[in-house]
């Protein structure tokens, strides 16, 4: 009997072989973790990195600030979405059975606890340690007379001319404040020149000004000394209200719903509609209010009432309300002893011998792991294609790249050189919409054909196809990746790239581009899996095949590495596999709705999250397949939106040494006891640490040792 028939027979016998497992209710809500709360716990794990003494000090500050950015987006999107469900009386419970009201209650309790902890870490740990290294944010009460004089001059000449104070009275209604902008509410006493006495005013901080001001060395004793813009405005606010008495000045920040609400089917021009919606994003519904913890209760109550918020939405903080603006301090200083050691991304041996990428790719497919290995070959492929007279066409998808990136520069050069350049730009890449509109316009001006993908379905696949005339035939070269075409992200995110001239794979990529730019029925693919058509179906089949092997007493194993796992069908399939005896290792950076270690259901499933110097971003699907391993790399996380409502791809790794290499990388993650946390059946994560006498193992550090080149970047 053939292996395929063997598997079919095993699957048919699965209910008998696996005993009572199929009768168990895999839709039981207790088997699922809430996705929003899981995402929040990922943010907390990021914050925990700020306490890791093994991490250099400025990098610990970065983790603390990344937590702020993550929380901003969490409120702008996830919390806003839950509030919208309640407002429109359209409350939906997920597989975990929790409705939005209950989820919001738990979010509020967890977020309040950890945001308070964040400021305690900043004030009690990070800032004192920075001070010990001569890096200071000087508080108002510690300004010397010379510093106060310099800052008063700076305020009068650089800040005050740009500030527009707004008194609150019937002719000056409460201003419409921009999302996440820094503002002050000022209590006043006295009568102004027009006889007005409102008692309150709003001072929006100019968004064009840096939030951190470096004090000149001549007014300081030593070190790098900085002052917050909020401190400067607070100290000099009385100058904005001459003749009035300032009774109090308190900073606050409002977070708004920033999710775009565009129905592509209701617009004729998506780009035009998106431009209008981007403006609206700045003034969406309020979802969170951050205020100074010194703000009086009556003023807080006034602000909450003005924005339609409750005390559950209030965050009183001991420090600046816009912490993410301190990134200029974390990344602007050159202090090697307080930062991660520099490294240079390496190049594969094949490219060192042959600078001609077409020849190198034709000889053998190239597998790269960024940022340990350079992203330059991907950019160079485009550059060489732009200059090569034999290259006829270039096709590429762009999700996040930046309007003025090297990638876009090369595409512009190619279009101007007369190549047929087609670019599928996903305008709706969250928080990159404006940049994508700009790059689309730039490409169109250069003569490239720009399309925006498929109505109602985001194009998230990472694909590049070059067609080149070689002799009397057309030869195709493709790049497929797990990450975006963003050279900056390629230095910070871990992602795989495959450069190949495999005919079948390149033909599949060509078919997908035809599908994206044109219209027509689905074309069958030989090797590529793509959502929303074959990817999910194939993953479920591969999981079922491992399940059948385990049920028949064969060795079976699955390793999945993704950013998120929320799809209920995939989770149920993994539960069935676990019940049949499949050993399952899940490396899930962020959200995970699967509950591991539940007796009778998921005892064979282990879930770990790895957070380190680089953002884990690669997606890998690995199946033991009876000793003939199957490996796919993908742009898709295991989420409903990725598998059902996006254009995604998964591409097979067919060269044995490449599969072996990926397996070695996965085993490094599974052996990480330095930056990994294990998900418990309770939904909590436990940070791993080396046992007594055990060597510490960081997967990222090991790969830096193996692949990176130490030294100045």
Asked if the bond preceding 566 is cis, omega within 30° of 0, the reply is no
Determine the distance from the C-alpha atom of residue 106 to the mean position of all C-alpha atoms in its chain, rounded to a whole number.
Answer: 23
Active site residue 460: yes
- Report CA torsion sign: 647, 399, 416, 448: positive
Task: Annotate 378-419 with three-state secondary structure.
Answer: HHHHHHHHHHCCCEEEEEEEECCCCCCCHHHHHHHHHHHCCC
Q: 216 near 150, Cβ under 8 Å?
A: yes
E-strand ranges in 471-516 read: 473-481, 493-500
Tokens of 415: 């279009």
Q: Which of 114, 226, 234, 460 is catalytic?
A: 460
Rounded CA-CA distance 336/224 in Å is 15
For the stretch 116-121, contacts whose Cβ atoms lie closer than 8 Å and that sit 24 or more positions apart, written own/partner, are 116/317, 117/47, 118/47, 118/50, 118/64, 118/67, 118/68, 118/323, 119/317, 119/318, 119/319, 120/318, 121/47, 121/50, 121/51, 121/64
> Half-sphere exposure (CA, 13 Å, Cβ side) for 620?
33
Rounded CA-CA distance 224/543 in Å is 56
Q: What are phi and psi of 318, to 5 degrees?
A: -100, 75
Q: 594 near 47, Cβ under 8 Å?
A: no
Rounded CA-CA distance 415/444 in Å is 9
Q: 458 near 549, Cβ under 8 Å?
A: no
Q: 588 near 615, Cβ under 8 Å?
A: no
Residues facing residue 69 across a β-bridge = none
Rounded CA-CA distance 197/646 in Å is 56
Q: 81 near 91, Cβ under 8 Å?
A: no
Closest CA to 648 of 657, 638, 658, 656: 638
- Report CA torsion sign: 599, 600, 603, 609: negative
- CB within 8 Å of 34: residues ≥ 6 apart: 94, 96, 98, 103, 106, 593
Rounded CA-CA distance 79/431 in Å is 16
Q: Classify residue 92 as left (phi > 0), alpha (psi -120 to 50) or beta.
A: beta
Q: Could you list the active site residues?
A: 460
């Amino acid at each position: 009997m053939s292996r395929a028939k063997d598997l079919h027979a095993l699957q048919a016998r699965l209910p008998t072989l696996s005993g009572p497992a199929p009768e168990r209710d895999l839709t039981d809500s207790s088997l699922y973790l809430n996705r929003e709360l899981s995402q929040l716990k990922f943010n907390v794990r990021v914050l925990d990195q700020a306490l890791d003494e093994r991490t250099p000090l400025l990098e610990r500050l970065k983790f603390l600030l990344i937590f702020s950015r993550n929380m901003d987006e969490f409120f702008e999107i996830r919390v806003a979405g839950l509030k919208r469900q309640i407002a429109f009386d359209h409350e939906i419970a997920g597989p975990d059975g929790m409705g939005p009201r209950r989820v919001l209650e738990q979010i509020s309790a967890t977020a309040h606890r950890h945001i308070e902890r964040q400021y305690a870490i900043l004030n009690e740990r990070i800032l004192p340690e920075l001070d010990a290294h001569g890096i200071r944010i000087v508080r108002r009460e510690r300004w010397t007379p010379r510093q106060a004089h310099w800052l008063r001059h700076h305020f009068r000449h650089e800040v005050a001319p740009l500030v527009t104070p707004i008194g609150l009275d019937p002719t000056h209604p409460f201003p419409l404040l921009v999302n996440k902008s820094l503002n002050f509410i000022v209590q006043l006493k006295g009568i102004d020149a027009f006889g007005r006495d409102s008692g309150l005013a709003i001072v929006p901080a100019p968004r064009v000004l840096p939030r951190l001001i470096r004090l000149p060395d001549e007014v300081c004793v030593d070190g790098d000394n900085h002052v917050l813009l909020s401190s400067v405005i607070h100290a000099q606010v009385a100058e904005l209200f001459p003749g009035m008495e300032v009774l109090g000045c308190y900073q606050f920040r409002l977070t708004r719903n920033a999710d775009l609400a565009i129905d592509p089917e209701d617009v004729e021009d998506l780009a035009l509609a998106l431009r209008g919606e981007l403006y609206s994003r700045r003034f969406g519904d309020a979802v969170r209010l951050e205020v100074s913890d010194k703000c009086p209760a009556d003023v807080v109550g006034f602000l909450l009432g003005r924005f339609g918020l409750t005390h559950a939405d209030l965050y009183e903080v001991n420090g600046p309300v816009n912490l993410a603006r301190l990134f200029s301090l974390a990344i602007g200083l050159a202090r090697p002893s307080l930062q991660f050691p520099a490294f240079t991304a390496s190049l594969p041996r094949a490219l060192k011998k042959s600078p001609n990428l077409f020849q190198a790719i034709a000889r053998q497919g190239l597998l790269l792991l960024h940022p340990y290995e350079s992203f330059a070959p991907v950019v160079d492929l485009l550059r060489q294609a732009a200059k090569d007279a034999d290259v006829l066409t270039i096709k590429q998808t762009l999700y996040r790249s930046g309007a003025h990136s090297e990638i876009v520069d090369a595409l512009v050069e190619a279009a101007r050189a007369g190549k047929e350049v087609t670019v599928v730009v996903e305008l709706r890449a969250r928080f990159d919409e404006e940049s994508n509109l700009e790059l689309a316009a730039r490409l169109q001006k250069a003569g490239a054909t720009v399309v925006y993908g498929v109505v109602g379905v985001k194009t998230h696949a990472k694909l590049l196809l070059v067609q080149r005339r070689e002799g009397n035939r057309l030869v195709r070269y493709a790049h497929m990746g797990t990450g975006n075409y963003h050279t900056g992200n390629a230095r910070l995110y871990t992602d795989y790239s495959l450069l190949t001239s495999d005919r079948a794979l390149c033909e599949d990529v060509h078919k997908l581009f035809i599908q994206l730019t044109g219209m027509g029925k689905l074309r069958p693919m030989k090797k590529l899996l793509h959502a929303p058509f074959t990817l999910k179906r194939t993953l479920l089949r591969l999981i079922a095949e491992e399940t059948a092997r385990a049920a028949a007493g064969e060795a079976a194993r699955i390793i999945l590495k993704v950013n998120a796992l929320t799809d209920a069908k995939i989770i149920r399939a993994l539960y069935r596999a676990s019940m049949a005896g499949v050993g399952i290792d899940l490396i899930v950076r962020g959200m995970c709705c699967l509950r591991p270690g539940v007796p009778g259901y998921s005892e064979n499933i282990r879930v770990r999250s790895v957070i380190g110097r680089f953002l884990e971003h690669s997606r890998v699907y690995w199946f033991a397949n009876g000793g003939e391993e199957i490996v796919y790399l993908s742009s898709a996380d295991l989420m409903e939106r990725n598998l059902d409502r996006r254009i995604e791809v998964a591409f097979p790794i067919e060269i044995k040494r490449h599969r072996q290499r990926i397996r070695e990388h996965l085993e490094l993650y599974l052996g990480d006891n330095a930056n990994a946390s294990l998900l418990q059946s309770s939904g909590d994560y436990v940070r791993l640490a080396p046992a007594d006498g055990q060597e510490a193992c960081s997967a990222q550090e090991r790969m830096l040792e193996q692949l990176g080149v130490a030294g100045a970047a």
